[in-house]
Chains A and B, each alone.
Chain A
Amino acid sequence: MHRNRIELCKKHLIFARDVNHFIISSMKRLTVIGIAAIMSVMSLQAQIIEERQQADTSSVKARTAVVEGDRMNQGIPETPLKSLSGQVAGVNVSTDGSERMAMLNSVRVRGTTSITGGNDPLVIIDGISSDLATLSTIFPADIASFTVLKNASETAQYGSRGASGVIVVNTKRGNAQKFSISYDGHFGVESIYKSLQMLGPEEYLSTAGALGLNVKDFGYRTYYPDIVTRPGLVHNHHLAFSGGNETSNYRASIGYADRNNVIKGYGDENLVAKLNINQKAFGDLLSIDFGMFGSSHKIRDLFDYQMMFYSAATQNPTCPTGDAAYENWVKNNTAAYINHPEILLEEKNDEKGLNFNTHLKLGFDFTKDLRLVVFGAYSYSSVENAEFCPTWVWAQGQAFRKEAKTENILGNATLSYRHSWGAHQLKASLLGEYQRVAGSWFQTRVSGFTSNHFHYENIGAATSRPYGETQSFSDNSALASVMSSLSYSYDDRYSVTLTTRADGSSMVGDMHTWGFFPSVSASWNIKNEGFLKDVSAVSQMNINAGYGRSGNLGGISPFSTMELMLPGEVVPYEGSSTITLNRMRNTNPDLEWEMRSTFNVGASMGFWKNRLALTLEYYYSKTTDMLYQYDVPVPPFKYDKLLANIGSMSNSGVETGVIVTPLLKDDMELNISLNLAWQKNRLLSLSGEYRGMQMSAADIVPVGSLIGAGMNGGNNNILYQIVGQPLGVFYLPHCTGLRVDENGNYKYDIKDKNDDGSIDMSDGGDRYIAGQATPKVTLGSNINFRWKDLDVSVQINGAFGHKIYNGTSLAYMNMSNFPDYNVLKEAPARKIVDQNVTDYWLEKGDYVNIDYLTVGYNIPVKARYVSSLRVSASIDNLATITGYSGLTPMINSYVFNRTMGIDDKRSYPVSRTYSLGLSIRF
C-alpha cells in the first residue's frame, strides 16, 4: 500500500472511531421507542395493497417489502427514492453515474436482469403505470407506502413489465372522518467536507520550476474549489388538507422543494399539487376513487460533469478569476480536456418537466363475495431540455433545445370473487387491460454564436444549423393483457396461488405477439399449527415458496421489428445537397420477450410479540432469450450488430432481515433493524442460434474506460462484460509494483501474465479478472430510539465485496501531463510518470455510510387547534467509513453502463446536509 492511501486510511480510522464514539454516546444519553419497521413487512395489511394484489392470498403478502410513511420523512426528504435507500433487502438505490446532479435516480431490484434495457423496476403509482422519473417528483410527504415486489409470484402478475421488480406506491388518501391540515417543512444547508487536495499555486510553480518545465504564471493565486462551489441551500414546504365523512372524503396537497446545490448556479426545483376524492354511493355498491396530481420541476444541471471536476482539479492555479477570467485568460490549448472552471459555470444544461396524471376507479361490490373494479388512467409528461455552451468554452458556441412528450392511456377491469366456507377460503380474479403509449420529440442543435448573451433562448442568433442536427420523431405502441388468478387457503395454514398473465405487445415480432407469464406460490403458516399455537414465545412463523415467469421489453423500441427507411446521408444530387433515405440497421423480424424465471423460498419468524423478527429468503432467477446487440458478420450483413433474443443471465441471492426491539416501554423504545443481502449475478451465455446461423457476442466486451489526457482510445478499458462472470468485471493488467526508470521516475511494472516475453495491454493479452463492480453484499440498517417525546433515528447503509477503479488518482498522481494538468499534492514526491491502466489503482469499494441522523422532538401542545407539533434536526450523509482512497466510494456501482465502478474525475465534492424540520398538524 502506498503512502497516501495509508494516510487516508488512517484518517478514516480516526474518523470511524469518532463516529462510533458519537453513536455510542448518543445511545447512552438517549432512550427511545420506534416502530418495528420490518414488522410491518410481516403484518402487512390488505388496505395498502391494490386490488390487484388483493386477489393474492394474505400469506404471500408477507413476502412483500413495504416502506411506510413514518420512515419516509427522516433526514431531509429530497426524493422518494432516497427514502427507499437501504430500507428493503435486495433493493439498491443509486445514481446511474451520468445524469441529474449525482441524485439517486436508479433502482435495481435483485440485480441487473438484462444487458440491453428495462432494468428499472416498474413503478405503479395509485394503479397507474409510471416510471422512476415521475416517482421522483412526488413529495415524500404525500406517500403512504412503498411496496417493493420482488418475488416470482408477485412480479409475474405484471407480466411483460415485471421482470425487474415492481414498486407499488400508494399516496395518502383522505381520512374517513377527521378534518386535518398539516404543514411539513425543512430547511437545510449543504456543506462540502471533502475535496481533492491538488498543488496550490506556489507549489505548482515551484514544482514546475524544479522539473525545469515551462509554465505560465498568470499572477493570480486561485483555489478552484472556492470559486466553483458554495454552501448549498435546501428548503421544502408541504401543505395538506383532508376531511370528509363516512361516504365521501378528500385530500389535497401542495408541495414545493428548492435545492441549490454546492456547485454555484446549479440545483433543482419541484412543485407538486395533488388531489384525491373518494366517494361511496348506493349504499356499499359503488365506491369511487378519483385522483389527480401534477408536478412541475426544473433542473439546472452541469453540462459536462467530467470536464467541470477535471478542470477544477487540474487547471493552472495561477489563472485569473472573476471578470478577468473572461478577459485576460488564454486557454492553454495543450490541455484540451480542461477549461477554466469558472467559465464552465456559464454552460447550461437545464431541464423543465411537467407531469399530469389522473385516474378514476369505480368499484362495484355486487355481493359480499363478488367485486368488479373498472379503472382508467391518463398521464401526460413533457420534458424540455436546453443546453448552451458559450464561445469561451466551444469555438463558435453551441445551443441545443429538445422537447419530448409522452402520453399514456390505460384502462382495465378486474372481476374478483372470494368465498369462504368452513376452513376453506377461495379467491379468484380475472383482469383485462389495454394500454397505449404515444411519444414524440423534437430537437435542434445550432452553432456559430457571435454573442454569448442569448444562451439557448434565441437559437435564431446562431449562424449554422447543420444537417442532421434538427430532428423530430414520434412513435406509439400498445400493450394488451389478460390475467387470471386463483388462490386457495385452508384453515389459515396452507395456501396456494396460481396466476397466468398473457401480454400482447405491438413491439415484438408478429410471430411472438403474445407472451405468457404463469406463476405458482405456496405458503405454510406454521404458527397456526397445533404444536405452535400455544407457544407464546413464537408470535409468527411461516414458510413460503414460489415460481414464476415475467417478461421484459425494455430492450425493444417501437418499430424494431420492421425494416424501415429513414433520413440518412446527405449527398449532392443534380448539383444541390439532397437527403437520402437509408436502411440504417439490420432488422430482426423475430424479436420477442426477454423471459425471467424466478424461484424463491423463504421464511419469516417473530418471537416475543414480534420484539425479535427474522426473515430469510433465497432466490434464483434466470433471464433467457436475452436481448442483446449480437455481433454478426459483415458480409453478408450490412451492419455489424443485430438485436436478437439469444443469451442468458442468472441472479441469485440470500436476503435476511432482523428487527430487534430490546426496549419497549411507555416512555422508551428502541428498535434496531438490519437487512443484509447477498447478491450474485452471472452472465451465462451470449451465444445461440438465429435463423440457423450460430451467433455470438464477443466473450470479452469492454464497457467502461477512462477518458482524459493521453487516454484517447488506447488500452484504457477498465470494465468489461465477460461471459461466465458477473456483469461488469474489472479486467486489467497486473501491476507488480513501481519500477524506477533511467530518469528516476516511477512506472507501473506490468506482469507478463502469459509469459510470452512481451507485455500486451490489449484485451485478451496480459490482463486478468480483478474483481467485480457490483457489491456482493449490501447492508441497510435503521436504529430508532424514543424517549418520551424525543426520538433519534439513524440510517446506515453499506456495501461490500466490490471494487472501484480509482481513475481520478491514476490521472492526478501521474506527472506526465504536468504542468498542463495540475496534480495531487503527493504527486511530485511520488514521481509516477505513467498512465497505463493497471490494477494498481483498483481498490476495494467496501463502505459503511451514515445516511442520516435525525433527532426529533414532538412538542407537547395543548393549543386549541394544534394537534401535534414536531421539530427535528438532521445531518444527511454524516460520515463514510471506507478504505477507498478516492473522494467517495458511493459512485455508480449498480447500473451497468460506462460509468459503472469507475471513479473517473467526475465525482461531486462530498457534502453533508444540516437541516431543521418543522411539522404541524391541525
Chain B
Amino acid sequence: MRKISAISAVCILMLSGCLSEDSRSYLTEEQAFTNSQNLYINSVAFLYGYIGGSSESQGLQGTCRGVYDYNTMTTDEALIPIRGGDWYDGGLWENMYQHKWTEDDATLYQTWKYLYKMVMLCNQSLSDLEKYAHLATVEEIGQWTAEVRAIRALFYFYIMDMFGRVPVVTEVDISVSEVVQSERSEVMRFVYDEMTAVLPYLANQRSNHIGRYYGRITKPVAWFLLAKLALNAEVYADDDWTDGIRPDGKDITFEVDGIEMNAWQTCIEYCDKLHAFGYVLEPIYPDNFLVHNENSLENIFTIPLDNDLYRNQFWYLFRSRHYSHGGALGGASENGTCATLHTMNVYGYGTEEVDARFIYNFYAGEVFVDGNQVLLHTGEPLVYMPMEVKLNLTASPYEKTAGARMAKYEVDRKSYSDGRQPDNDIVLFRYADALLMKAEAQVRNGEDGSEAFNQVRSRVEMPMKEATLENIIDERLLELVWEGWRRNDMIRFGYFHKSYDMRTALPEEANAYTTVFPIPSRAIDLNPAHKQNHGYKD
C-alpha cells in the first residue's frame, strides 16, 4: 500500500505539469492594455457602450423596464394599459402607474444593478488607468480619468434621483462592509463636486455630432447635468422627504467658477453656459428626432444608434404602436404604451387649440403609411382612440386601440429587430429643456422667466404665455413628452404623490414616500447594513 502511495505521489507530480489552459479566445488584462490607444478604448470608450442598451433594464433609455420606464410609466404622462391578455404582466405597469411598486420588484432590482454596474465598471477603469498610466502621457491620463469620473457622476445622479439614500463607492476592490449608504444630500454634493472637479479636463466640444467626441461626456453635457441637479436641489438636499418640509433653493448654495450661488442661480448659470457655447433651438422641432439627427444644433447628449455599427436599441415606438401599424411599416410591434388623458388634455386634444407639437408627438385617430390607410386584421381601418384610455381596457371595445401612441422619432424603415434598431440617436439632454429649466429657475428665484420660456413656444409658433410655474410644468410636458423627465418634474413640483389623471393617491402616500423608490430588498439581503427608505418595508 505504501508503495502504491509513493508511486501515486510521483505520478501526481509528473502529471501536474501537463495541467494548463491556453486561451486564444480571451485576453488577459496585460494583453488588453499594451498601448495608449487600447488603454483608452478598453478603459474609457467601452463605458459608453452601456449608456444605451439592447436588453431589458439596460441603458438609460432605449429598452424596457429600466430607468426610463420608472421615470415615465409612473407619471401623468404615459402608461401601458392592460389590454385583455396583453400587457397585464403580473400587474407591473398597473402598479407603476398607481405607485404600488414594492421593494421586492424584480425589475427595480435589475435597474439598481444596471446603474451600480456602471459605477463599478467606472471604478475598475479608474484603477486600470492608474495601473497602466505609463502607457500614455500624463495629460492623456488626466483627461481620461476626468471623463470616467464624469460618467460615474452621471450615474450617481440617476441613482440618487431614484433611490435617495445610497452608497457612494469610489474604489473597485472593497468589501461589502465598506459599502455604506450616504444621505441623499451628501450624494448630491458628491455628484456636484465630482462633476465640477473634472469639468476643466473635459473637452469643450459638442457630443452629439459624429466625430471624435460623439456620444462622449464633454463640457456641455456636464453643464446640463449640473443645471438639472441644481434645479432639483430642493428635492435632493432633503434628507427626510417624508416630513413635508423641503429646504429652500435660495438657501442651498453651490460654488460656480469660484463664486457662491444659490440653487436657482446655479441652474441659470449652467444653462447660460450652454447658450454661450452655441446651442440653439433647431428651427424645426421634429428635426431633433430624425433618423439622422446627428447634426442637430439643439441636442446635447445622445445615445448613438446605428443599425450596423452599434448594438444600442430603441424599443419605444415598437412598444407603443398597434400590431397592424407595425405590420404596415414592415415589422412587428407590441401595442402597449400610450399617452394619458392628462397629456391629451394639456395638449388640448379635441379642442380648437391643439398644441402644434401634437402631430409630431402622437399618433391619434386614423393612421396612414405610404399614403395607405392602416387596416386592422379584420379589414376595418385602425383608429387610435386617445380619450378611451383606461388603466384596464379589458373588455372595452377599444381594448386594442385606445390611447394616443408615441411618435416623436421619425420611423426608420430600414431598422432591424422589428423596428427596435433604428438609426435615430436617442436624445437624453436637449437645449429646449435647458431653456425651460432656466425659465423655471428664474421664476423660482423671483425673476421673470418669460424670455427663455417663450423661445421654446415660439419655435413651434405657439402664442406667448406668462412663465408661471403652472405654465412651465405643462410646457415641459408639451415640449419634452416621451423624453423621460416627467417623474423628475412632478416630484419637483410636488405633484407626484398626489392624485392625478386617472390615478388616486395611495392612502399612505400623503407623506410623499413614493417620490423615492425603495432600496430593492435583495440589495438589502446581500448587504444587511443598508437601511430601507421611509415608507417601505424593511
Residues on A facing B (Cβ under 8 Å): 214-216, 330-334, 336, 395-396, 428, 430, 432, 434, 436, 447-448, 464, 466-468, 472-482, 484, 486, 500, 502, 504-507, 513-514, 558-559, 562-566, 568-578, 580-583, 631-640, 692-693, 696, 698, 709-710, 712-716, 743, 761-764, 814, 816-817, 821, 833, 835
Bound: A572/B124 CA distance, A: 21
Q: Which residues of A contact B175 (CB under 8 A)?
A: 636, 692-693
- Residue pairs across A and B with Cβ atoms less than 8 A apart, 21 shown, are A395-B330, A395-B331, A466-B308, A467-B310, A475-B23, A475-B25, A478-B19, A479-B19, A569-B48, A572-B48, A575-B214, A581-B27, A635-B116, A636-B120, A636-B178, A638-B121, A640-B117, A698-B522, A709-B85, A762-B90, A762-B104
Q: Which residues of B contact A558 (CB under 8 A)?
A: 21, 23
Bound: A153/B88 CA distance, A: 54
Q: Are A743's CB and B395's CB within 8 A?
A: yes
Bound: A395/B328 CA distance, A: 11
Q: Are A474's CB and B526's CB within 8 A?
A: no
Closest A residue to B323 using CB positions: A333
Q: Which residues of A contact B87 (CB under 8 A)?
A: 710, 712
Within 8 A of A (CB), among B377-405: 377-380, 394-395, 400
Closest A residue to B114 using CB positions: A634
Closest A residue to B110 using CB positions: A640
Q: Which residues of A contact B22 (CB under 8 A)?
A: 476
Q: 5 other contacts beyond A336-B332, A693-B176, with CB at 8 A cut-off?
A: A336-B323, A473-B25, A480-B16, A565-B31, A575-B211
Bound: A625/B463 CA distance, A: 71
Say which residue of B7, B46, B214, B526 sits within 8 Å of A633 (CB atoms). B526
Bound: A821/B377 CA distance, A: 13
For the complex of A and B, the 8 pairs showing the least CB-CB separation, nearest first, are: A569-B49, A714-B90, A333-B323, A710-B85, A480-B15, A580-B46, A715-B90, A564-B26
Q: Are B167's CB and A714's CB within 8 A?
A: no
B74-92 near A? 1/0 per residue, CB < 8 Å? 0000000000111111111
Closest A residue to B65 using CB positions: A713
Closest B residue to A579 using CB positions: B41
Q: Are B8's CB and A816's CB within 8 A?
A: no
Q: Are A476's CB and B11's CB within 8 A?
A: no
Counting chain B CB atoms within 10 Å of each CB, the highest count among A215, A633, A640 belongs to A633
Q: Are B307's CB and A464's CB within 8 A?
A: yes
Number of residues in B with C-beta < 8 Å to the partner?
Answer: 99
Q: Which residues of A contact B7 (CB under 8 A)?
A: 430
Say which residue of B49, B92, B117, B310 sits within 8 Å of A638 (CB atoms). B117
Residues on B facing A (Cβ under 8 Å): 1, 4-5, 7-8, 11-12, 15-16, 18-29, 31-32, 38, 40-42, 45-46, 48-50, 65, 84-92, 102, 104, 112-113, 116-117, 119-121, 124, 167, 169, 172-176, 178-179, 210-212, 214-215, 304, 306-311, 322-324, 326-327, 330-335, 376-380, 394-395, 400, 416, 418, 522-523, 525-527
Q: Which residues of B contact A633 (CB under 8 A)?
A: 176, 179, 523, 526-527
Q: Which residues of B contact A466 (CB under 8 A)?
A: 307-308, 311, 416
Report A530 CB to chain B, min CB distance, Å: 32
Bound: A764/B104 CA distance, A: 9
Closest B residue to A708 using CB positions: B85
Closest B residue to A692 using CB positions: B175
**Given A396-B416, A480-B18, A575-B214: A474 touches B25 (CB 8 Å cut-off):** yes
Q: Are B304's CB and A464's CB within 8 A?
A: no
Q: Are A428's CB and B335's CB within 8 A?
A: no
Bound: A466/B308 CA distance, A: 5
Q: Are A432's CB and B11's CB within 8 A?
A: yes
Q: Which residues of B contact A486 (CB under 8 A)?
A: 1, 4
Q: Are B11's CB and A570's CB within 8 A?
A: no
Q: Which residues of B contact A716 (CB under 8 A)?
A: 90
**Given A334-B400, A472-B25, A565-B27: A571 touches B48 (CB 8 Å cut-off):** yes
Report B225 CB to chain A, min CB distance, Å: 20
Q: Are A514's CB and B91's CB within 8 A?
A: no
**Given A504-B15, A506-B21, A569-B311: A763 touches B104 (CB 8 Å cut-off):** yes
Report B366 CB to chain A, min CB distance, Å: 17
Report B313 CB to chain A, min CB distance, Å: 11
Bound: A464/B414 CA distance, A: 11
Report B354 CB to chain A, min CB distance, Å: 29
Bound: A336/B377 CA distance, A: 12
Q: Are A573's CB and B86's CB within 8 A?
A: no
Q: Are A714's CB and B88's CB within 8 A?
A: yes
Q: Are B20's CB and A761's CB within 8 A?
A: no
Q: Which residues of B contact A336 (CB under 8 A)?
A: 323, 332, 334
Report A841 CB to chain B, min CB distance, Å: 16
Bound: A716/B87 CA distance, A: 12
**Given A569-B50, A636-B174, A762-B90: A564 touches B120 (CB 8 Å cut-off):** no
Q: Which residues of B contact A563 (CB under 8 A)?
A: 28-29
Say which residue of A513, A565, A576, A693 sits within 8 Å of B42 (CB atoms). A565
**Given A634-B120, A763-B104: A814 touches B45 (CB 8 Å cut-off):** no
Q: Are B15's CB and A482's CB within 8 A?
A: yes
Say which residue of A396, A436, A559 sits within 8 Å of B26 (CB atoms). A559
Closest A residue to B109 using CB positions: A640
**Given A333-B323, A763-B104: A447 touches B26 (CB 8 Å cut-off):** no
Q: Are B124's CB and A638's CB within 8 A?
A: yes
Q: Are B377's CB and A330's CB within 8 A?
A: yes
Closest B residue to A630 using CB positions: B526
Bound: A817/B86 CA distance, A: 8
Bound: A751/B288 CA distance, A: 52
Report B537 CB to chain A, min CB distance, Å: 11
Q: Are B85's CB and A506's CB within 8 A?
A: no
Closest A residue to B375 using CB positions: A330
**Given A474-B24, A693-B175: A582 touches B527 (CB 8 Å cut-off):** no
Say which residue of B12, B46, B525 sits within 8 Å of A581 (CB atoms). B46
Q: Which residues of B contact A502 (CB under 8 A)?
A: 8, 12
Bound: A634/B520 CA distance, A: 11
Say which residue of B15, B28, B380, B416 sits within 8 Å of A564 (CB atoms). B28
Q: Which residues of A contact B378 (CB under 8 A)?
A: 214-216
Say which residue of B28, B86, B326, B333 sits within 8 Å of A565 (CB atoms). B28
Q: Which residues of A contact B120 (CB under 8 A)?
A: 634-638
Q: Are B27's CB and A506's CB within 8 A?
A: no
Say which residue of A482, A562, A835 sits within 8 Å of B85 (CB atoms). A835
Report A397 CB to chain B, min CB distance, Å: 11
**Given A480-B15, A714-B89: A582 touches B25 (CB 8 Å cut-off):** no
Report A887 CB to chain B, min CB distance, Å: 22
